[in-house]
Amino acid sequence: MSYSEPRTLFEKIWSRHEILTRDDGVSLLSIDRHLCHEGSFHAFDKLKMENRTVRCPELTVAIADHYVSTSFPEKGNEVEALRVPIEKLEINSKDAGIRLYGVGSKEQGIVHVVGPEQGLTIPGITLVCGDSHTATHGAFGCLAFGIGASEVAHVLATQTLWQTKPKTMRININGSLLDGVVAKDIILHLISVVGANGASGHMIEYAGSTIRNLSMEGRMTICNMSIEAGGRAGMVEPDQKTFDYLKGRKHAPKLKDWDLAIKDWKTLATEPGAIFDKEVTVDAGEIAPSLTWGNSPEETLPVTGYIPSPEDEADISKRETLEGTLEYMGLTPGQKLTDIAIDRVFIGSCTNSRIEDLRSAARIAQGKKALVPAIIVPGSTLIKKQAEAEGLDKLFIDAGFEWRSTGCSMCVGMNGDITPPGERCASTSNRNFKGRQGPGSRTHLMSPAMAAAAAITGRVTDARDFS
């Protein structure tokens, strides 16, 4: 096949997987990897009701994370009602012959951390999971997106999925980052620029020198929060860093296959002159250490900022929403962000729980004492082990942090780890929605270093003051 038009990374992957297109423009895609978690029980129930079986169990991997207790992981969860979904996943995987990284397995962890870690995530593939943060895997140059239970059932039954081809958006970030600015700051800033639904209907490609200079961990943090800008998928073109990360991973191609894979992966990058439906360009130098103050991830400001005033909002509906947000968050217009007192700290989640994140929090915590309760939840059992080998567990414990086991923990508020009503949490997770971390919880999203700094001072803190 020859193509005259320069093509994007996304278009190349899409066309490789497009089986047919309906008259209404909707395409049937073949799916290379399907990751399941406890929440997938709805889809398995549906399958049973319709008397269907799993078409390709070998392309499906089940991982327990959402309901797993980070305090008593060996039991799954100490609360019986929360153990049920974990047990359902175990039964459904066993019945269908699906590989399970469940409770007690050395590979277990957060699905979006485990996928890349085990080499299940590789460039050029289509990867789906019944979870909106599936875009994380796009950091490896694959097309990865979150789906609902009906679609999970469809993939289980057919290993295909009907999809409308999304539009494309390229976000270019060039230049050097200011000191103390990390991937989390970049993505929070981008969401505030693009808006919480600015990329709705689009897949995002993150490009430019700043992205190229990021580690794989940093790229994953950025792709992870694509959905918070409305984009179902986010991706970065694969390069040597991608290949180096994947080489030798459990499920990554081996020997001759590896050489062939590399050869193919090198052809995936977006070609010069390829056209995107939307282009956004951001100068890396504009980005400051940032955090969210409201209940939408677009409500982000530099740590040096102040709470906005509803009086400045002309649109009545928006003004009322803002008033509601400030009331819920217990904040006053004009308040300095660094004056906000924090009640507890959560460092973890599929956004920021990888070894690099833990190291960066550790650099802040070293030799200090946390003023407020703070928990560290590594993204996987392997990351936990690695951190312990580096002595990070001891460092955190000495600094008054709790060293927990892996899982979704306080990001998702459904496994027992919550922020109590009215309390304010400095969190490295991805959503500051009302009640996300538990009913009445107040969330401020920030980087691991900023969250660790907040634990030490008991208020929102510019981590640069610690260096």
Q: State the residues that interact with other proteins by CB under 8 A.
A: 39, 41-42, 45-46, 67, 81-82, 84-85, 130-132, 146-151, 166, 193-194, 196-197, 200-201, 227-228, 230-232, 280-283, 286, 295-296, 298, 317-318, 320-321, 324, 412-414, 421, 431, 433-436, 439-440
DSSP assignment, residue 463?
G
CB closer to other proteins out of 151 and 393: 151
CA distance to 33, 96, 170, per residue, from 47 (Å): 18, 11, 37
Burial state string for 232-261 with b = 16 or more CB within 10 A and e = fewer than 16: bbbbbbbbebbbebbeebebbbeeeeeeeb
Least distance to other proteins, CB of residue 456, Å? 29
3-state secondary structure of 204: strand
Residues 219 and 183 sit within 8 Å (Cβ to Cβ): yes
3-state secondary structure of 218: helix
CB closer to other proteins out of 412 and 453: 412
Structure-token match 């709470």, residue found:
307
CB closer to other proteins out of 17 and 37: 37
CB closer to other proteins out of 85 and 378: 85
* Beta strands per DSSP E along 352-429: 374-376, 402-403, 424-427
CB closer to other proteins out of 219 and 436: 436
Least distance to other proteins, CB of residue 281, Å? 5
First and final C-alpha spacing in the chain: 55
Calculate the CA 312 to chain-centre distance: 33
CB closer to other proteins out of 143 and 261: 143
Least distance to other proteins, CB of residue 314, Å? 11
C-alpha closest to that of 103 among 66, 152, 147 = 66
Distance, in Å, from the CA atom of 44 to the CA atom of 49, rounded to the nearest integer, reads 9
C-alpha closest to that of 71 among 82, 61, 62 = 82
Least distance to other proteins, CB of residue 20, Å? 19
Least distance to other proteins, CB of residue 157, Å? 14
Which H or E run includes 329? helix 316-329
CB closer to other proteins out of 193 and 262: 193
Least distance to other proteins, CB of residue 232, Å? 5
CB closer to other proteins out of 17 and 384: 17
The torsion defined by the Cα of 102, 107, 112 and 116, in degrees rounded to 10, comes to -150
Q: Which residues contact 44 (CB under 8 A, 6 or more apart)?
A: 88, 92, 96, 153, 156
Q: Which residues contact 74 (CB under 8 A, 6 or more apart)?
A: 103, 104
CB closer to other proteins out of 112 and 384: 112
Least distance to other proteins, CB of residue 23, Å? 17
The residue type found at 119 is G
Least distance to other proteins, CB of residue 434, Å? 6
* Phi, psi for 6 (deg, rounded to 5): -65, 140
Chain length of the chain? 467
The residue type found at 56 is C
CB closer to other proteins out of 226 and 381: 226
CB closer to other proteins out of 299 and 393: 299
Taking CA 407 as the corner, what is the angle to CA 297 and CA 151, rounded to the nearest 5 degrees? 70
